[in-house]
Structure 1
Amino acid sequence: MWMETKTEVEEVSRTRASFSRRVLNSVLLCTGDMEHFDKYMQDKWFVLQLAVWGLRGVTRVILANNPLSGTLILAALYWASPWQGLLGTLGVLASTLTAVIVGQDSAEVAGGLHGFNGMLVSLLMGVFSSAGDWYWWLLLPVCLGSATCVFLFSGLSTLLGHWDLPAAVFPFNIIIILYLLCTGENNPYFPHHPATPPGMLGPNVTELNAVQVMHGIPLGVGQIFACGALGPSLLILGAVVLYSPLLAIHALLGSAVGTLAGLSMAVRHVSLYSGLSGFNGALGCMVVGGLFFTFSWRIHLLAIASAFLSAYADIALSNLLGTVGLPACSWAATLIATLMLLLTGSLAAYRIPIGQVMAPERNLRSQGQWEAGNTEDRESTDV
């Protein structure tokens, strides 16, 4: 009797362990780049494939590459503002379809590389438009601007590829500045709000609210998508965690560094509270902290330095461009990250070629396997 009971307990334990293992494996299949999902989608309808390519393009904005993360981010944008969600969806689809029509590299299209700049252009056009939500004429420049990003991305990729550098969001930054310069504040068809320099103090300066400053740190992650609501920003952060916890940690760390830089420069309180002081720092920290470099303690320190440089450069550029009513967008993080990728010396050994960039955790595993293989080769050749 006792033996039968013991056997039953062992069987129940094995069943539970097997169930937990299956659940864990299912969760792990939804993390990282989800390359197996691309194989599953190969023989599916074009519309379904286009949706997956678009979702990957959505996550490329925040340096991820996961269609489930893209679904969460789109849900967050629609939660914050249905109009902004619609513009973002239209932007990523317009740029991805344009890439398909003009015959861009199929692997790049499937990886979402031709979608994220278009999405950013459409989101920023909506944010700066002073015509209000559901202004349908705005869809015209949204589609044209998003489509134009494909040609800029292709040309810049060829140019920067000689130095193994990504085109990143250079197309977005160029297109949105050109659009705002063309339209102006009083344009009868596409008016927009002028940008305010972060160094400009308001007429009634009040004491700093520490709680709102802390809220500004996760909002800095949301502001990468021009989202200034706390709930949707946390959902966006959750989407990054699904792709890579290490990337999410650097996103929060970079936003905190950017907020600290804003405090040290006494920027307007609204910039601290809304997360605008943190998003360039978040991007600068994420690029270096395990994405384009194999993670180590030295790279972690370099990521923090990149976040500080991106944040201070953003304050400087915002004050400069704000004098003519233009936003600095993500010029600071893009330029600083590009310079970081050109580093020489011992840190250059941690640099990952563009074609081999994956989720940070997978980069670490690949580096470990490569080092283990080299060790075995050395041992086998010893005499």
Structure 2
Amino acid sequence: MRGVAQVVLQPRLSTGALVLAALWAAGREVGLFATLGTLLSTAAAYALGVDRRSVALGLQGYSGCLTGIALVGSLGDHPATYLLTAVGCVLCTVLTAALTTLLAPCGLPVLTAPFCLVTGVLLAAVPAPVPAPDPASATGLTAADLWHAFFANVAQVFLVDNWYVGLAVLVALACAGARAVLAAALGSAVGTAAAWALGAPAGQVAAGLHGYNAVLVGIALGAVLPARTPWNAGYALFGAALSTVLATTLTALLAPLGGRTLTWPFVLTTWALLAAVPHLPRLRAATA
């Protein structure tokens, strides 16, 4: 349960249980591979002797969870998908250990980088889906588009576009505390606004394809990682907007190569902004 919850940077059992239930509600394949991915990567960490506290907190399961969902979403429920999921989950565990060692001197967390690396490699030969042409311009966003985008941004963190999954994830985050759910909600709102400002097609904005990284950045910077100061909220919202811009750029760069953006904008934005914190006194004033 905690492995699922750690996708949104929370260690609570109740959060993971609610999210996993929502994923099963979104479809049998999604729920099954989210469960398998989390179990396999956690089991691999246990078998390889990873620190038991890290395993117990779910820090070894979340990349496997996302990898399983991504693979079944691209390859379907096929025997080869099960094999690739197993291989990918073991690789996620090994890469988590490697990145923990490499990033430790910089004081940076691993985040979802193992998922991005493993899934990117495994799906490199699979052509990236090309979004259908959307006749609606960014200025054509309706009220329905806006509320759907708000919830879909959160759902797309788990690679699904069901708005009710986003609602369930927000409820699950509320179990972890008001700060976490507020950070996610503000990140979603900023991601939608930034995508609109960049001229993204209304259909893609409504489906949450441009705002999910902003949700994760909002949670990471606004509720979890830096010291809590009055400046944190603004820093988190700035990061959410920046991740949306980076997502648009990476999508344009990777699409011709068949690559996936995944959660790279979240990872890169969070790493960059966290690395800057030691030289930004107002953001570390509360550490004393």
Q: TM-score range by the shorter chain?
A: over 0.9
Shift in Å, 1:252: 1.0
Residue matched to 1:220: 153
Residue matched to 1:334: 267
Q: Residue 327 and residue 156 in structure 1: after superposition, are their counterparts in 2 closer, same or farther (change >3 A)?
A: same
Which of the residues 168, 190, 196 maps onto 1:263? 196
Conservation of the 8 A alpha-carbon contact between 1:196 and 1:325 = no
Distance in 2, Cα, partners of 1:288 & 1:203: 33
Please say if 1:174 is aligned against 2:117. Answer: yes
Residue matched to 2:19: 73
Conservation of the 8 A alpha-carbon contact between 1:222 and 1:237 = no
Residue matched to 1:14: none
Shift in Å, 1:284: 1.1
Please say if 1:161 is aligned against 2:104. Answer: yes
Residue matched to 2:254: 321
Please say if 1:102 is aligned against 2:48. Answer: yes
Distance in 2, Cα, partners of 1:66 & 1:227: 22
Distance in 2, Cα, partners of 1:215 & 1:305: 23
Residue matched to 2:133: 202
Q: Residue 300 and residue 178 in structure 1: after superposition, are their counterparts in 2 closer, same or farther (change >3 A)?
A: same
Distance in 2, Cα, partners of 1:341 & 1:213: 30
Q: Residue 351 and residue 223 in structure 1: after superposition, are their counterparts in 2 closer, same or farther (change >3 A)?
A: farther
Normalising by structure 1, what TM-score?
A: 0.71
| Structure 1: unaligned runs, 5 residues or longer | 1-54, 186-193, 353-370, 372-383
Distance in 2, Cα, partners of 1:116 & 1:71: 13
Conservation of the 8 A alpha-carbon contact between 2:231 and 2:283 = no
Conservation of the 8 A alpha-carbon contact between 2:126 and 2:258 = no
Specify the SS of the correspondent of 1:70.
helix
Specify the SS of the correspondent of 1:255.
helix
Please say if 1:273 is aligned against 2:198. Answer: no
Conservation of the 8 A alpha-carbon contact between 1:165 and 1:341 = yes
Please say if 1:145 is aligned against 2:88. Answer: yes
Percent identity between the two aligned chains: 28
Shift in Å, 1:351: 7.5
Residue matched to 2:239: 306
Cα RMSD, aligned residues only:
1.7
Give per-residue Cα distances to partners, 1:198-239, cap 9 Å, x unaligned.
xxx826446433312221111111110112112222111100
Residue matched to 1:184: 126
Q: How many residues align?
A: 284
Normalising by structure 2, what TM-score?
A: 0.93
Residue matched to 2:185: 252
Give 4+ residue runs of structure 1 displaced > 6 Å after superposition: none
Conservation of the 8 A alpha-carbon contact between 1:73 and 1:236 = yes
Give 1:28-177 correspondences, 5 Å limit. Answer: 55-129=1-75, 132=76, 134-177=77-120
Amino acid at match of 2:202: H
Specify the SS of the correspondent of 1:61.
helix
